Each structure stands twice: as C-alpha cells, then as structure tokens.
C-alpha cells in the first residue's frame, strides 16, 4: 500500500544508504555517476533509490553547478488573456530549456511588486521576465544591482537600459485609427485604461499621429480614460463595469461619435452594453474596434473587430534573450524588439 501524502516524509540519501547498507558518500557518488563505484553497485543503488521513492534534490545539486534552473516571471495579473497566453508560452519555452518558472503577481501595486521582486531574489532565480507596474523603477534597480538578468515585457522603464520585448503599440493603434478614418470617421474617441504605463502612452501617441496625419485635431475630447481597478485582487474586478459607466456618461451628453477605439476587449463589453441600452447601432451609427482579440470578441453581437497580439512570438523571443544572458552567449544589449499586431476586421467596424 502506498504511503499517504503527508503521512510519510521526503526520502533522503540517508534512507537510500540504509536500504542498500552502504555509506551516504558511496550512494551519492553512484547516483551522480561519479567514479569509485562499480557498475553493479551503481545499478543496485539506482534501483533501490527509485524503489523507495528517492528524488535527487535539484537545489542541492544547483549549489555545485551554480544554477538553480528557475526563471522568475513577475506579472501584474492573470485576468488579462494576453498574460495567460504569455505565461503559457514562457512556461513551455522554459521547460524545453530545462528551467521551471516561479510565478509572482503584483496586481498593479508597487508594494506587491517590491514583495514579488524580493521573493524572486530570495528564491534564487537565475533570471527574471517582468511586466513592471506603472513607472516605478526602484525594485528593478535592486535586481540589476544583484546581477540577475532581467528582460521586460510589454512595458518599458526608460533610463534603466533594459532589454524590452513588446507589441508595437504605437503602430497597432495607428492602424486601428486609420481603419475607421478610411471608413469615413472624423469624430473618434479612444477609450483607454487610466494607467501610467508606457503601453498606454504609446497607444495614445499612435492615435494622435493618425488623427493629425488626416487633418483631425487631437484634443482632450478625443480620449476617455477608464479608472483602473486592477489593484483589487484577481480577475473579478477587471471587467466591463467601469467602461460601461464612462461610456454611459459620455453618451448621456448626447454626443455620438463616429467610432470608438478601446484599450482592451473587456472595455468593449461595457461600451457595447452602454450603446445597446440607448439603441445606438453598431456599426451603422458608430464603429467599434477593440484590442487584444479576447476569446469572446468574435462571438459578440455584432462580432467585435479587434487587434490580435503577437503573444507567442514575443514570449519566445523574450525567453530566448533571457536564456542567452544566462548562458553568456548574449549579444551586447540592451535589445528592444517591437512586434507587429494584426487587425481582425469584423462587423463592428464594417458599416
């Protein structure tokens, strides 16, 4: 009968030594394939070790080899489908390279980010992939000082000269604005999360560029910022409610723009609800384009046009860069790579 989990303790080298009646030293040498043990004895020791459920401790070995084979992944939250895909691909690539990932979440909270960084460093991670919280660079200078390779994803920290892998937010946003302008829109509103991160700043830049290139003045009336409640724990609060409120307030004033561009498809859910309540038809009266191409977007009524992000490619390249920093084969940095996104044109932007 197998021992119950928790009812028995973890097996040690000492346990194996007792079973085979040899010294801990001999057992250790046999299991690590070092000389000084006969082939026959080595085989017997390995068989007995497996039989009693002994697993070599990678941490102990890592002290010898100088590596713990873990990569810290520090994200703001998991509620964003972009981050799900990102973590999934990072984990895949890390496992292929013989690493495991230690996942830490900051929830857009600078104090939690500090805790996450401290935890990662104390856990002895070899390197870190991070989506940093809004603009605060303090925890990251600690990582740099500690000599731990660090690669940023999605949000940059200007001034720290770090490797940076991201969607090209500026070009992507410009593309969505030009799409609705080409379809006749002049009064366009960008609905974005009110977050002071480079991602949002770059999207605003791209939006303004597209307007100005088409002779449309960019002013405050062109943007609607949705308060971010992502500091609340978990996915449950990051939904469409706030976008619904912001869009409702705007439509209450009687203004119906030609098009809405939104910062993520969750915001699009709230916007759709506000428009439906007022029987404002999409796309006949107003066009809508989302961002992120979340799993539900193509199923909305009407299907929501959205921007598909280059998540897989971006994750692969970022992990590859980190691995090259870890094994010493990296080209001199810092390296910045921006990946193009793709507009999934659907009925919401096809009047």
Considering only residues 45 to 84 of the shown chain, the ones binding a second copy according to CB under 8 A are: 52-60, 62-63, 68-70, 73, 77-79, 81, 84
State the minimum distance, in angstroms, from the CB of residue 169 to a second copy.
21
Q: At which residue do the structure tokens 């094994």 appear?
A: 327
Residue 283: asked if its preceding bond is cis (omega within 30°), the reply is yes
Distance, in Å, from the CA atom of 77 to the CA atom of 74, rounded to the nearest integer, reads 9
Beta carbon nearer to a second copy, 84 or 231: 84
Q: Convert residues 113-132 into a mask of x (bound to a second copy by CB under 8 A) and - (unbound).
A: --x---xxxxxx--------
Of the candidate residues 8, 14, 25, 138, the single one contacting a second copy (CB under 8 A): 8
Do 347 and 302 touch, CB atoms closer than 8 A?
yes
State the minimum distance, in angstroms, from the CB of residue 25 to a second copy.
17
State the minimum distance, in angstroms, from the CB of residue 218 to a second copy.
30
State the minimum distance, in angstroms, from the CB of residue 182 to a second copy.
28
Beta carbon nearer to a second copy, 133 or 210: 133
Beta carbon nearer to a second copy, 206 or 283: 283
Q: Convert residues 85-114 into a mask of x (bound to a second copy by CB under 8 A) and - (unbound).
A: x-xxx-xx--x----xxxxxx---------
Site residues (CB under 8 A) for a second copy, limited to 214-253:
233-236, 238-240
Give residue 274's Cα distance to chain centre: 30
Buried b / exposed e along 163-172 (16+ C-beta atoms within 10 A): bbbbbbbbeb
Site residues (CB under 8 A) for a second copy, limited to 253-312:
266, 269-270, 272-273, 276, 294-296, 299-301, 312
**What are the CB-based long-range contacts (under 8 Å, 24+) for 51-60?**
51/19, 52/11, 52/15, 52/16, 52/19, 53/11, 54/11, 54/12, 54/13, 54/15, 54/16, 55/11, 56/31, 56/32
- Would you give the end-to-end CA distance of the chain in angstroms? 68
Buried b / exposed e along 289-304 (16+ C-beta atoms within 10 A): bbbbbbeebeebebbb
Binding residues with a second copy: total (CB under 8 A): 89
Do 183 and 349 touch, CB atoms closer than 8 A?
yes
State the minimum distance, in angstroms, from the CB of residue 103 to a second copy.
4
Beta carbon nearer to a second copy, 100 or 248: 100
> Per CB under 8 A, does 2 bind a second copy?
yes
State the minimum distance, in angstroms, from the CB of residue 76 to a second copy.
11
Element (H, E) at 120: helix 110-122
Beta carbon nearer to a second copy, 209 or 285: 285
State the minimum distance, in angstroms, from the CB of residue 57 to a second copy.
5
Number of H helices, E strands in the chain: 12, 12
Residue 334: asked if its preceding bond is cis (omega within 30°), the reply is yes
């Amino acid at each position: 009968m197998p021992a119950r989990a928790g009812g028995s303790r973890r097996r040690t080298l000492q346990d194996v030594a007792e079973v085979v009646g040899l010294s801990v030293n001999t057992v250790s040498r046999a299991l690590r394939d070092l000389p000084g043990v006969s082939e026959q004895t080595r085989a017997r020791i390995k068989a007995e070790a497996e039989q009693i459920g002994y697993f070599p401790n990678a941490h102990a070995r890592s002290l010898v080899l100088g590596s713990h084979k873990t990569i810290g992944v520090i994200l703001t939250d998991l509620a964003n489908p972009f981050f799900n895909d990102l973590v999934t691909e990072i984990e895949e690539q890390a496992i292929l390279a013989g690493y495991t990932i230690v996942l830490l979440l900051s929830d857009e909270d600078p104090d939690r980010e500090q805790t996450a960084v401290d935890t990662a460093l104390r856990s002895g991670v070899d390197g870190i992939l991070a989506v940093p919280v809004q603009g605060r660079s303090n925890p990251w200078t600690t990582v740099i000082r500690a000599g731990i390779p660090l690669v940023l994803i999605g949000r940059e920290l200007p001034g720290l000269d770090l490797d940076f892998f991201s969607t090209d937010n500026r070009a992507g946003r410009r593309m969505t604005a030009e799409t609705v302008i080409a379809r006749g829109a002049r009064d366009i509103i960008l609905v974005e999360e009110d977050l002071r991160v480079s991602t949002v700043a770059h999207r605003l830049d791209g939006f303004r560029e597209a307007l100005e290139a088409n002779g449309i003045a960019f002013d405050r009336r062109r943007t609607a910022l949705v308060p971010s409640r992502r500091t609340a724990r978990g996915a449950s609060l990051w939904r469409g409610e706030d976008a619904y409120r912001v869009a409702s307030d705007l439509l209450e004033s009687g203004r119906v723009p030609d098009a809405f561009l939104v910062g993520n498809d969750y915001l699009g859910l709230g916007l759709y609800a506000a428009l439906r309540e007022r029987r404002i038809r999409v796309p006949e009266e107003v066009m809508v384009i989302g961002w992120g191409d979340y799993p539900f977007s193509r199923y909305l009524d009407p299907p929501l046009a959205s921007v598909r992000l280059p998540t897989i490619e971006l994750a692969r390249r970022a992990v590859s860069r980190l691995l090259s920093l870890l094994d010493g084969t990296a080209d001199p940095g810092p390296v910045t790579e921006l990946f193009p996104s793709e507009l999934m044109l659907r009925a919401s932007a096809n009047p």
